[in-house]
Amino acid sequence: MRPPHGCRGRIRACLPVCLVLLAWVLGAERARAQLTFPSASPVSAGNVVVRLEPEITTFSGNASSAGLLAVGLYGASPDWTVIVQDHTLVSNTAPVTVGGHTANRTATGLGDTLMELRYTLYSVDDVGSTFRIAPYFGIFAPTGTDNANPAMPRGLQPGTGAWGQREAISATWSKLFWNAEAQVGYENYAQSAGYTFGDSFYADAGFHYLLWPRNLEGDVNAEVFASLETNYTATNKDRMIGATVPGSGGQLWTADPGIIYTTPRYSVDATALLPVYQHISAGGRRYAWGVLGLFRYAFFTEHHW
């Protein structure tokens, strides 16, 4: 469905001020999924894990993005995991110029949904150790609101309005006192209403180190890890009605120090998202910082393949 002419006119009017930044915001949002990226860790057949991830990202110039991501994982078999990620709430705020008047505006609504399958392609287990490789195959469904605030450009609406796909491969090497993870992936979107988001390549890595307890004798039921993860995203320029959207795309590299508290039934994590390198042409606006929380709870069902 194409937007009405009036809407398109408003979008064009505010492009010089905010579209660059807004595409940037969305690009950064798409770069992150879990804390801060999906792993190849084992999921038992029949296990259901529900995860809630509140996140706030801020930019210079009073722009920000806040959201709540809800994730459900189901261990369909020892090797296959079904994952549904839903941006339950997305709220993007940025200064937008319409008719020569600049004001902070907000678009709040439902975000898109990502449906994924994960397959454990390779695994080597030993006592207190596992190494696994798992590719992901995902489809973005445009379940979000792509016209929550008509005064704001397409790039800042909570939903993209477009179908997309995501392919990634993750590797996890986990030991009793530390674990290391890495992922590379690619995602792209189909054209929707004349707008095509730029495709993205991303690479992530993480290292977690056990802080407490130092003695793992007996039935240990709680652990605290220090976490350091990093995310790199390179996004191509968006295109609107065949033309390149000025200032969209670019590169962002973040370092994410955090902490993880985990028990057999649940875990609570928090991490900061700090820029290490950014290369964008967003009119002087820059990614400032972000924070991401994560609450994870496990259920069990007898049912599996």
What is the x/- site pattern for another protein, positions 160-179, by CB under 8 A?
--------------xxx--x
Candidate segments 9-17, 45-53, 62-70, 198-206, binder of another protein by CB under 8 A = 45-53
* 266-295 positions binding another protein, by CB under 8 A: 266-267
Output the smallest distance, CB 136 to another protein, in A: 16
The verdict on 217 binding another protein (CB under 8 A) reads yes
Pairing between β-strand 200-212 and β-strand 243-244 as defined by DSSP bridges: unpaired
The nearer residue to another protein, 186 or 299, going by C-beta atoms, is: 299
Q: Is 45 helix (H, G, I), strand (E, B) or coil?
A: coil
One of 221, 242, 284, 303 touching another protein (CB under 8 A): 221
The verdict on 214 binding another protein (CB under 8 A) reads no
One of 54, 56, 66, 79 touching another protein (CB under 8 A): 79
The verdict on 75 binding another protein (CB under 8 A) reads yes
Q: Is 297 helix (H, G, I), strand (E, B) or coil?
A: strand
Question: Beta partners for 256?
Answer: 229
The verdict on 200 binding another protein (CB under 8 A) reads no
Q: Which of 26, 10, 15 is nearest to 91 (CA)?
A: 26
List the structure tokens of 127.
């006592």
Candidate segments 119-127, 146-154, 193-201, 270-278, binder of another protein by CB under 8 A = 119-127
The backbone region for 232, taken as left when phi is positive above 0, alpha when psi lies in -120 to 50, beta otherwise, is: beta
* 124-153 positions binding another protein, by CB under 8 A: 125-130
In this structure, how many other beta carbons lie within 10 angstroms of the beta carbon of residue 290? 24
Q: Which residues of 9-38 are buried (b: 16+ CB within 10 A; e: fewer)?
A: ebbebbbebbbbbbbbbbbbbbbbbbbbbb
Output the smallest distance, CB 302 to another protein, in A: 6
One of 120, 192, 233, 235 touching another protein (CB under 8 A): 120
The verdict on 265 binding another protein (CB under 8 A) reads yes
One of 137, 263, 272, 289 touching another protein (CB under 8 A): 263
The nearer residue to another protein, 62 or 263, going by C-beta atoms, is: 263
Q: How far is CA 101 from CA 38, 98, 247, in A?
A: 42, 5, 21
Residues 6+ apart with CB under 8 A from 163: 139, 140, 141, 142, 189, 190, 192
List the structure tokens of 217.
């004798």
What residue ranges bind another protein (CB under 8 A)? Answer: 41-47, 75, 78-79, 120, 123, 125-130, 174-176, 179, 216-223, 225, 262-267, 296, 298, 300, 302, 304
